[in-house]
C-alpha cells in the first residue's frame, strides 16, 4: 500500500461519552494522529491523508472553531520537532483562501520545517471539500483556455487530475472512516474512484494499531482489477 487516507470521525462524541466538553475530543484526536503516523512509518506507507477540517466544519460554533485552531497553534512546535525527527513531511491541502489568518504562520512553519521528510508525507486536508476542489479545478482549466494556455480538446482525465489540489499525490489505496458512519462526507470524491473503503465503529480517539492493522489486512486480501 502506498497511500492510506482516513476520515477521522467521532472526536466530539467520544468526549461526550467521557463526560468532557465536546471540543476537548480534538486534543485526544491528536494523540490518535500520532498513532496513525507511527503505524504508517512502521508499514513503510508513503502517504497518509487525514481529513482534518472540512469547509462544512465552518458551520460549527465559533467557540469550537477557536478551540481547534488554537490547539493547532499551541501544539505546532511540539509536532514540528517530532515530525522532523521522524523524517515526516507535512502538507496542508484545501482552499488556502479560507485558511484562518492566525494559522497561516503555523501552517507555513509546519510545511517548511518538515519539507525534508522522506519517509512519509502527511497530507492534512484542511478547509477542504471534494466538490469545492473539483469546481476550483474546472475554473482553473477554463481560465487556462481563456488565456490560450490550454485547448478544450486537450482536457482529459489526467489534465483534470493535475489541476486538483492533490496534484502529484497518488490516489488513496485505502480509505478508513471511524465513528460508525458509512459515507464519504465530501472527502476525495474524485480520487477515491478505485479506493477500498473500510469503516470502523470506534471513535477516532479510540483507534489503535490493531484497528489499522485489521483494516490494512482486509485491503491486502482484496483483488483490485480496476474493471479489467
Catalytic residue numbers, as ranges: 9, 57
What is the C-alpha to C-alpha distance for residues 5 and 187, in angstroms, rounded to an integer?
Answer: 10
Helix (H, G, I), strand (E, B) or coil at 126: strand
Of the CA atoms within 13 Å of residue 196, those in its CB half-sphere come to: 18
Measure Cα distances from 175 to 20, 70, 126, 198 in Å.
29, 28, 17, 6
Q: In the chain, helix, strand, coil percent, each to 5?
A: 50, 15, 35
Measure Cα distances from 208 to 11, 46, 56, 84, 98 in Å.
14, 20, 27, 23, 32
CA dihedral 161, 162, 165, 171 (to 10 degrees): 50
Tell me how far the alpha carbon of residue 81 is from its chain's centroid.
20
Amino acid at each position: 500500500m502506498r497511500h492510506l487516507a482516513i476520515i477521522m470521525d467521532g472526536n466530539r462524541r467520544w468526549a461526550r461519552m467521557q463526560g468532557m466538553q465536546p471540543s476537548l475530543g480534538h486534543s485526544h484526536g491528536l494523540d490518535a494522529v500520532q498513532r496513525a503516523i507511527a503505524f504508517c512509518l512502521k508499514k513503510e506507507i508513503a502517504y497518509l491523508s487525514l481529513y482534518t477540517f472540512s469547509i462544512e466544519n465552518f458551520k460549527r460554533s465559533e467557540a469550537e472553531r477557536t478551540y481547534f485552531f488554537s490547539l493547532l497553534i499551541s501544539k505546532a512546535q511540539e509536532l514540528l520537532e517530532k515530525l522532523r525527527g521522524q523524517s515526516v513531511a507535512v502538507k496542508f491541502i484545501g482552499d488556502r483562501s479560507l485558511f484562518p489568518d492566525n494559522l497561516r504562520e503555523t501552517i507555513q512553519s509546519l510545511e517548511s520545517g518538515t519539507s525534508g521528510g522522506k519517509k512519509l508525507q502527511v497530507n492534512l486536508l484542511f478547509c477542504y471539500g471534494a466538490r469545492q476542489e473539483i469546481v476550483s479545478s474546472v475554473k482553473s482549466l477554463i481560465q487556462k483556455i481563456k488565456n490560450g494556455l490550454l485547448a478544450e480538446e486537450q482536457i482529459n482525465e489526467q489534465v483534470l487530475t493535475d489541476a486538483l489540489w492533490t496534484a502529484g499525490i497518488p490516489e488513496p489505496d485505502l480509505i478508513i472512516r471511524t465513528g460508525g458512519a458509512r459515507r464519504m462526507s465530501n472527502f476525495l470524491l474524485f480520487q477515491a474512484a478505485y479506493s477500498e473503503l473500510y469503516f470502523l465503529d470506534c471513535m477516532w480517539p479510540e483507534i489503535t494499531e490493531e484497528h489499522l492493522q485489521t483494516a490494512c489486512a482486509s485491503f491486502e486480501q482484496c483483488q483490485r482489477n480496476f474493471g479489467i
